[in-house]
Amino acid sequence: MKLTIVYDNEIYEKNVGLKSDWGFSCLIETKDETILFDTGAKGKILLNNMKILGIDPCIINKIVISHEHWDHNGGLKTLGPIVGDVELYRLGKKQPSENMNLTTVEKPQEITKEIYTTGKLRGTPVNEQSLVLKGENGWYVLAGCSHPGVETIFDAAKQYGDIIGLIGGLHGFDDFSILEGLEVVCPAHCTKHKKKIYELFPKISVECGIGKIIEI
Ligand SMILES: [Zn+2]
Ligand SMILES: [Zn+2]
């Protein structure tokens, strides 16, 4: 499974025209499906970054929105006419034009054979879902902002198997001991203590940013 960061606060692949912005989006390519996890804040920037990374948005067949914050769902409006009637998994019901083929997520459920959602988890200030991805060697969590807290997300994700990796926004996260035993941590987007994570876990830390590709 191949993950490509297409929207982030930072750029990984420098000097090629990628634009950073506050927000997050990650493209997930499996053997037979392409899922976009979050859409960043601005559709224009999302499309610019995809173009430069050689990604045709028409290949997206499912979209998952982690939570209803503008920096995660903002790109949907622009994406709508391009991707058409794809499956959209989100926690809330928004304007019909953004709703595509809507599934309102409550409980943990399958997105594809290798990708599952934790279901709606209670968070402050908003509820959120994270994805649980089946990699070659174990399970990975892909999170938007981690508003429910990493511990809560991991507790929900563990129902699928042992978690060996964490990728995504880790907002106010500072309970670093939770990361012990992981094989990969890739703090992105709104992670407040990125440097601290790199310092504490140099062997497993992976630098994020737009253009970063992670094969799991
Ligand atoms: Zn965010
Ligand atoms: Zn958020």
Q: Are 117 and 108 in contact (CB under 8 A)?
A: yes
> In whole angstroms, what is the distance from residue 203 CA to residue 216 CA?
17
Containing structural domain, residue 171: 2-215
pLDDT value at position 99?
73
Q: How far is the CA of 110 from the centre of ligand 1 (A)?
A: 24
Q: How far is the CA of 33 from the centre of ligand 1 (A)?
A: 25
Q: How far is the CA of 102 from the centre of ligand 1 (A)?
A: 22
Q: How far is the CA of 142 from the centre of ligand 1 (A)?
A: 13
Ligand nearest to the CA of 125: 2
pLDDT value at position 93?
75
Q: For residue 179, how many other CB atoms are within 10 A of its CB?
A: 20
Q: How far is the CA of 40 from the centre of ligand 1 (A)?
A: 8
- pLDDT means per 10 residues, the chain with 216 residues, are 98 97 98 97 98 98 97 95 94 75 96 98 96 97 98 98 98 96 98 97 98 98
> In whole angstroms, what is the distance from residue 197 CA to residue 3 CA?
21
Q: What are the φ/ψ torsions at residue 65 (nearest 5 degrees)?
A: -105, 120
What does the angle CA 100 – CA 35 – CA 32 come to, to the nearest 5 degrees? 115
User: Which residues are within 5 Å of ligand 2 (an ion), measured at CB?
Assistant: 69, 145
Query: What tokens does 148 get?
Result: 């429910």
Q: How far is the CA of 155 from the centre of ligand 1 (A)?
A: 21
pLDDT value at position 97?
65
> In whole angstroms, what is the distance from residue 167 CA to residue 62 CA?
19
pLDDT value at position 96?
63
CA distances from 210 to 54, 151, 185 (A): 13, 26, 16
CA atoms within 13 A on the CB side of 216: 28
> In whole angstroms, what is the distance from residue 129 CA to residue 70 CA?
15
pTM: 0.97
Q: How far is the CA of 138 from the centre of ligand 1 (A)?
A: 26
Domain count, the chain: 1
Q: How far is the CA of 34 from the centre of ligand 2 (A)?
A: 23
The enclosing domain of 193 has a CATH number of: 3.60.15.10
With a CB cutoff of 8 Å and minimum separation 6, the contacts of 126 are 67, 68, 69, 147
> In whole angstroms, what is the distance from residue 121 CA to residue 123 CA?
6
Q: How far is the CA of 126 from the centre of ligand 2 (A)?
A: 7
Q: How far is the CA of 135 from the centre of ligand 1 (A)?
A: 25
